[in-house]
Amino acid sequence: MPVEYQVRPRLGVRFSLPVHLILFIGFLLISPLLLFVFLVLVSIGVNPLLALTLTLGSLLTSYINVTIVEITYYTPFAPFGDFMKLFPIPIVMQRVDKLFIELNVGGAIIPVAVSIYLILTYLINNTAVMALFIISLIISSFINWLDSRVIPGIGVALPTALPVLLTLTFTLIATILFHANPLGFSYSLGSLSTLIGADLLNIGRVVRSMRGYVAIGGAGVFDGIYITGLASLVLASLYRVFI
């Protein structure tokens, strides 16, 4: 018997940690590094508000999830299965389940907004850089999708090292060949490719297999997005200071 479902928009806010508590505490313990990166970004001309958002904003807002969609599933089933074999009375009931799809503020909303700003500010005026960025985004998103998996009860999981390596590799190519802005290229590529590859391309599997709450940019993807973004900031800072 097919499962019917109803999709409707829903706006709400839910608070929860997107990563394991120990890992979240670990992020907080590296705050001296975040302060150093913040100061370097400001010293090379990055707007202080943008630098603060890149270093601390995503981490401090990572426990905020904005609900955008509610999916209600109606699963038909036959009660009293053994009894129905003896007396084939057509009694069918429905089990009702719900799935709430959310956007994590620190892992989705802020990275996307900042990425759009960085692309419009540093990349869009250079045709060669934009072409390489789009190609890099497609390749990185596809590889991240291949390496991601949907874990029932948790969400989408993606090895943290993979998006970092992809981002750093393509950023080095872009900066060496086309003198691309390392901050705009690396942060935008890392954040968007992780979100697209791990979350958006898996949304079909999530809808089919998950129930409860699923946060885009949260759970098993947030640490990858944040660490990739942090690595991008460190790379950009070192590039601007030493090159």
Domains identified in the chain, total number: 1
> 21 falls in which pLDDT band (50, 70, 90)?
low
Mean pLDDT score of the chain: 84
Q: Which domain holds residue 16?
A: 4-242
Above 80 in pLDDT, residue 110? yes
- Gap between the Cα atoms of 65 and 73, Å rounded: 22
pLDDT of residue 102: 93
Better-predicted residue by pLDDT, 174 or 28: 174
Question: What is the total residue count of the chain?
Answer: 243
Reply yes or no on whether the pLDDT at 185 is more than 90. yes
Choice between 46 and 80, residue whose per-residue pLDDT is larger: 46
User: In the chain, what is the greatest distance between 2 CA atoms, to the nearest angstrom?
Assistant: 81
In the prediction, which pLDDT does 177 show?
94
Per-residue pLDDT, averaged over 64-79, amounts to 85
Structure tokens at 173: 């190519």
> The pTM is what?
0.85
Task: Output the pLDDT for position 17.
Answer: 65
The 3-state DSSP class for residue 101 equals: strand
Are 192 and 180 spatial neighbours (Cβ–Cβ below 8 Å)? Answer: no
Which tokens hold the place of 174? 């872009």
> With 0-12 CB in 10 A as exposed, 13-18 as middle and 19+ as buried, what is 84?
middle
